[in-house]
């Protein structure tokens, strides 16, 4: 068996005096675009319930109030003021113009602080297990790469963090938010795999001398592909130029895990295991004995189509069927909400079955990529988000692999 038999649940965590955001908390995020006089609410997301289920999410456009206009379009207004050459017509002297400019610069400063204010919100979904829920969308200039879940497990003596996030800035802010729940030292970091939304905050943890686990092959790809991918993130998504320095990531600072290891956080045991080839060349998962909870990284996606560019689809299916099909109470995926029902694994399994069948059909019948997009979508995966873009990103690479396997 992958995991020992279920142990008796114990909840030894001593919580801070200030109660954390927990089951009944409601998170509302408003992100407004900088359109003149109009605000686009990109996300209104309410999170509630014992396992952090998203109960409401919508997009809307609305007319800005005058206050919103002042706060969110200060630079636009400032530009207009400076360009009006006939202000003297209204008997406004230069001194008054300076006051007006100072007024809008003040609101610009407030605007900056509002934008920079804490956007890393953690949800305590189980005793001592905190989740940052990644945005269920593609990376963009607003959310950067904060699209994957990040988890912290708090013991009596120390903390384990699962995945470092997409950037140095994200990792620092995640740790800052985590400190509101516990001041205990972060002793372990598990990097599930090399993809930037999970791994590029690693440098922050290296500087804190945290014990870091990752698959050796995934680490090699991280070092090899990382600089190029990071440059693309800076160029296309506006990442900070100091996002990550791969020269600071060296072998002696990393623990390569090819099997499994158990760590103790203080009355809280956590198993870290390498599942082998699946979503990538080596996917690391974690298992919390206290709550009988899997943390799977991108081996499991809930509510959206699983990314598969670097996957071995047949082996991935085998991993889910044979290495996760065990008794568990909760499972935290790499993307999507925590689940407590094995049937929810079908979100990933049915998508992979579709991909496997589509690739085999295309190879056997000589279909082009454009023809694959005309294949009927099984009803079991109609509800998954981002099917088209995910298929477009990964299908060419997979077709090459399937041709080598079944033709060459």
Specify which residues 202 forms β-bridges with.
none
Question: 42 or 210: which carries more pLDDT confidence?
Answer: 210
Instruction: Categorize the per-residue pLDDT at 20 as very low, low, confident or very high, splitting at 50, 70 and 90.
Output: very low
Alpha helices in 143-215 (DSSP H): 168-178, 196-199, 202-207
**Closest among 153, 126, 156 to 12, alpha carbons compared:** 156
Instruction: Please state the rounded mean pLDDT for residues 307-313.
Output: 97
pLDDT in tens, 67-82: 444 454 555 555 555 5
Among 68-77, 98-107, 227-236, 315-324, which is the least confidently predicted range?
68-77
- Residue 31 pLDDT exceeds 60: no
Instruction: Categorize the per-residue pLDDT at 103 as very low, low, confident or very high, splitting at 50, 70 and 90.
Output: low
Instruction: Categorize the per-residue pLDDT at 141 as very low, low, confident or very high, splitting at 50, 70 and 90.
Output: confident
What confidence score (pLDDT) does residue 310 get? 97
Inter-residue long-range contacts of 95-104, CB under 8 Å, 24+ positions, other chains counted: 104/70, 104/74, 104/77, 104/78
- Residue 257 pLDDT exceeds 90: yes
Instruction: Please state the rounded mean pLDDT for residues 358-386.
Output: 95
Instruction: Categorize the per-residue pLDDT at 364 as very low, low, confident or very high, splitting at 50, 70 and 90.
Output: very high
What confidence score (pLDDT) does residue 111 get? 43
The interaxial angle of helices 74-83 and 94-116, nearest 10 deg, is: 160
pLDDT in tens, 201-255: 999 999 999 999 999 999 999 999 999 999 999 999 999 988 999 999 999 999 9
Question: 302 or 32: which carries more pLDDT confidence?
Answer: 302
Instruction: Categorize the per-residue pLDDT at 142 as very low, low, confident or very high, splitting at 50, 70 and 90.
Output: confident
What confidence score (pLDDT) does residue 100 get? 64
Residue 194: DSSP 8-state: S
Superfamily of domain 123-341: Ribonuclease Z/Hydroxyacylglutathione hydrolase-like (3.60.15.10)
What confidence score (pLDDT) does residue 178 get? 97
- Residue 92 pLDDT exceeds 70: no
What confidence score (pLDDT) does residue 74 get? 53
Sign for the CA dihedral angle at 365, 309, 340, 10 comes to positive
Residue 318, number of CB atoms within 10 A of its CB: 14
What confidence score (pLDDT) does residue 140 get? 87
Percent of the chain with pLDDT over 70: 70
Q: Which helix (H) or strand (E) holds 320?
A: helix 313-323
Instruction: Categorize the per-residue pLDDT at 355 as very low, low, confident or very high, splitting at 50, 70 and 90.
Output: very high
3-state secondary structure string across 140-182: ECCCECCCCCEEEEECCCCEEEECCCCCHHHHHHHHHHHCCCC
Whole-angstrom distance, CA of residue 253 vs CA of residue 209: 8
pLDDT in tens, 110-139: 444 433 444 678 999 999 999 999 998 898
Task: Give the total residue count for the chain.
Answer: 408
pLDDT mean across residues, the chain = 80
Q: Tokens 């206290």 identify what position? A: 290
Residue 406, number of CB atoms within 10 A of its CB: 11
Residue 2, number of CB atoms within 10 A of its CB: 15
């Amino acid at each position: 068996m992958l995991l020992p038999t279920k142990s008796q649940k114990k909840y030894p965590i001593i919580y801070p005096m200030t109660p954390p955001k927990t089951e009944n908390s409601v998170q509302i995020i408003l992100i407004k675009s900088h359109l003149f006089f109009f605000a686009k609410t990109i996300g209104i997301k309410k999170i509630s319930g014992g396992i952090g289920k998203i109960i409401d999410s919508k997009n809307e456009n609305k007319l800005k109030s005058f206050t919103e206009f002042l706060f969110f379009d200060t630079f636009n207004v400032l530009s207009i003021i400076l360009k009006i050459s006939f202000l003297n017509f209204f008997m406004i002297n230069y001194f008054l113009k300076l006051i007006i400019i100072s007024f809008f610069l003040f609101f610009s400063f407030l605007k900056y602080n509002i934008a920079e204010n804490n956007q890393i919100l953690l949800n305590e979904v189980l005793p001592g297990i905190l989740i940052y829920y990644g945005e269920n969308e593609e990376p963009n200039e607003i959310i950067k790469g904060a699209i994957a879940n990040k988890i912290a497990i708090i013991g009596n003596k120390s903390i384990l963090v699962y995945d470092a996030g997409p950037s140095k800035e994200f990792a620092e802010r995640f740790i800052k938010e985590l400190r509101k729940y516990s001041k205990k030292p972060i002793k372990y970091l598990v990097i599930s795999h090399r993809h930037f939304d999970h791994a590029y905050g690693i440098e922050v943890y290296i500087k804190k001398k945290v014990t870091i686990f990752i698959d050796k092959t995934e680490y090699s790809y991280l070092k090899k592909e990382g600089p190029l991918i990071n440059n693309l993130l800076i160029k296309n998504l506006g990442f900070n130029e100091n996002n990550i320095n791969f020269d600071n990531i060296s072998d002696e600072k990393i623990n390569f895990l090819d099997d499994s290891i158990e760590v103790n956080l203080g009355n809280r045991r956590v198993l870290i295991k390498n599942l082998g080839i699946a979503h990538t060349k080596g996917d690391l998962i974690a298992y919390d004995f206290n709550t009988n909870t899997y943390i799977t990284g991108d081996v499991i996606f809930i509510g959206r189509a699983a990314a598969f560019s670097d996957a071995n689809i047949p082996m991935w299916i085998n991993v889910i069927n044979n290495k996760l099909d065990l008794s568990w109470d909760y499972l935290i995926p790499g993307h999507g909400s925590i689940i407590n029902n094995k049937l929810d694994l079908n979100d990933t399994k049915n998508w992979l079955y579709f991909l496997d069948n589509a690739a085999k059909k295309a190879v056997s019948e000589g279909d082009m990529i454009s023809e694959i997009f005309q294949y009927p979508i099984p009803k079991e995966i109609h509800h998954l988000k981002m099917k088209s873009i995910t298929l477009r990103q990964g299908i060419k690479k997979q077709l090459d692999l399937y041709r080598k396997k079944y033709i060459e």
